[in-house]
A and B are shown apart, each in its own frame.
Chain A
Amino acid sequence: MALLITHNLAVGYGRGKQTTVLLRGLDLKLEPGHLVALLGRNGAGKSTLLRALTCSSLPLEGTIEVDGRNLQDLTQTDRSRLIGLVATDRIQAGGLTVTELVSLGRQPHTGFLGRLSEEDRALVAQAIHDVGMSHKANDYVAGLSDGERQKVMIARALAQSTPIIVLDEPTAFLDVASRIETMQLLASLAHDQGKAVLLSSHDVSQSLLMADDLWLITSNREVVSGTTSDLLQTDVMNRIFVSTSIEFNPNILDYQSVSKKNDQDA
């Protein structure tokens, strides 16, 4: 059964008369154990959709159901136990150690003063281990590389012990090695730990390679969803961008310029 279901969801920004609807009529599903990539051009509404799904902003229309309950009816604490977030926001946590930062992920489960139990500490250590950062558990976050920071932020979401993890462009500022490592890590979280992992990305080839399902925002603001292998059989990849000078090449799982393709064909 799907963990997260949207019904006729519309997302956008603004209020009252100045509302801009970016995407509407969305009926999407997130399944446990699946890695889902959300792809679309800049400004298509990826972040806006993720904000709505994580309750950072309210949906303009429709509902989001998580585990059979309407997300908006849940308390903030309930939500924080269902959906973990890895965003692109700048954080001021350089003065915390990796363990301290990841421990913040236990907050939805700890008491008023935030004291960690033995079990909490074990879960934090496990999360740090899962992202391969145990050797730096006591290092300051300030001393980490961008890739390591992203892994620690993912560990923080893991420590939150939510069935769903949503990531907004988790590989955006990473070099190619960290990008691939991060995608592998996310895939293993989905496949080995049974989490539903949804990420937005501009890295088309890695997403197509690793994701089980795709949510594609086309140039006319439709969201096409399905399994990666099914969607690759269709021409939908060529409906994401309006440009006539690029074309999707299924052999390299990426876009290339039309002229270059012609050269190769000739």
Chain B
Amino acid sequence: MRSRYTVVMILLAVALLLLSVACLLLGSVDIPARQVTDILLGRGSDNHAWEIIVLQSRLPMIATAVLAGASLSVSGLLLQTTFNNPLAGPSILGVSTGAGLGVAIVMLAMGGTVGSVFGQTLGSYVATLLGALLGAAVVLAVLIAFSYIVKSSTMLLIVGILVSYLASSVISLLNSLATEEGIHNYVAWGFGTFSGVSVDQLPVFAGLLLMSLFASLLMVKPLNALLLGTRYAENLGVNTRRTRHSLLLVTGVLTAVVTAFCGPIGFLGLVVPHIARLTLRTSNHSRLLPATMLSGAVIALLCTLLSVNGMHGIIPINAITPIIGVPIILYIIVNRRKIQYFN
């Protein structure tokens, strides 16, 4: 079992490396590999535009995809364990939409004209970030409240979907008040992209996400206890209420930060934990959590590579994730009796 873990982790690391190289070399602008290497090694290039593309576009995009993919996937895993529901995820439970609503409100408040959604000025992106955090927190608070009332995890999933609809409709109402440019920005943001984080913004983005990812690694012990349900977990000395709240806090920050910068990206959070479980064949979080992080990063990079190499310009990330995600979810639903972790 340990050897399987080692093999999977090595393969994922290799895939991560190869995909990163591919993302550096391939894109809408053809740059010779030798030039890319020279630019990365600081030797510069005869073409200044190429330098800018590699250093200020492709490199931050790769870092963003890796971090966002890992974060959304971990967020999904934490939600699945917290709510004891294998079909939970940040987008399906409305956490992403809540963050999106926060972003929409901030955009409207700023007149929808202050740069793009990604915020050109420090003030606007901090505001966007806070809006997203607040939106995600509100949805998570609603989910926590309902989780004490509705005991069935399926019903809680439906509550999440309803909250998501509600947030979407408020977003639409807000859009009717916004300027045309504001709507355009918001719609563009809604497609999802890993190219929205600039070099200046990367430290904040990466700092918040790395901190939360690290925090999730410290919660492996109570996460494993929660596999047995609340009563057993409490019998094992876990303060389940406090644990759930901390888990949801971590989930909220991961989802909100990614959503603020990259848009509401669907399916990764729901699907990647399943991919990790199926390949590792375990629900043990001490192996599952690191594997989920790496798998999320790899799949997000794969989506990025496909996205920037479209025939006619860039394909939105949200057009790619369902193509990868839906078949896997359907496979899982159909085969759930054969899959160990469901039984």
Contact = CB atoms under 8 A, between A and B. Distances in A.
B166 interface: no
Contacts of B1: 97, 138
B235 interface: yes
A85 B277 CA distance: 28
A95 B341 contact: yes
B218 interface: yes
Given A76-B237, A140-B340, A94 B224 contact: no
Contact of A54 (B235, B282, B341): B235
Size band of the interface chain B makes with A:
20 to 34
Interface in B307-325: none
Given A94-B343, A140-B340, A100 B239 contact: no
Contact of A100 (B86, B235, B237, B284): B284
Contacts of A100: 282, 284
Interface in A209-243: none
Interface stretch (B87-95, B96-104, B225-233): B225-233
A85 B232 contact: yes
Nearest to B226: A92
Contact of A142 (B225, B236, B340): B340
A94 B221 contact: no
A110 B221 CA distance: 10
B235 A83 contact: yes
A77 B236 CA distance: 7
Given A85-B231, A92-B227, A95-B341, A104 B237 contact: no
A77 B221 contact: no
Contacts, number: 98
Nearest to B230: A89
Given A80-B236, A89-B229, A90-B229, A95 B281 contact: yes
A96 B282 contact: yes
A91 interface: yes
A79 B237 CA distance: 7
B220 interface: yes
B340 A94 contact: yes
A56 interface: yes
B227 A85 contact: no
A138 B2 CA distance: 12
Contacts of A90: 229
Interface residues of A, number: 36
Contacts of A94: 283, 340-343
Contact of A108 (B218, B220, B232, B236): B236
Interface in B322-343: 340-343
Contacts of B235: 54, 56, 80, 83-85, 160
B228 to A, nearest CB: 5
B1 to A, nearest CB: 7
A261 B238 CA distance: 52
A105 B236 CA distance: 7
A92 B223 CA distance: 12
B198 interface: no
B221 A93 contact: no
B283 A96 contact: yes
Contacts of A104: 224-225, 227-228, 236
A4 B340 CA distance: 39
A92 B153 CA distance: 13
Nearest to A85: B235
B5 to A, nearest CB: 13
Interface string A98-122: 0010001101101011100000000
List 9 A-B pairs, minimum CB-CB distance, nearest first: A95-B341, A95-B283, A114-B221, A80-B237, A94-B343, A142-B343, A142-B340, A85-B235, A77-B237
Given A97-B1, A108-B236, 5 more contacts: A93-B227, A94-B342, A107-B236, A140-B340, A142-B343
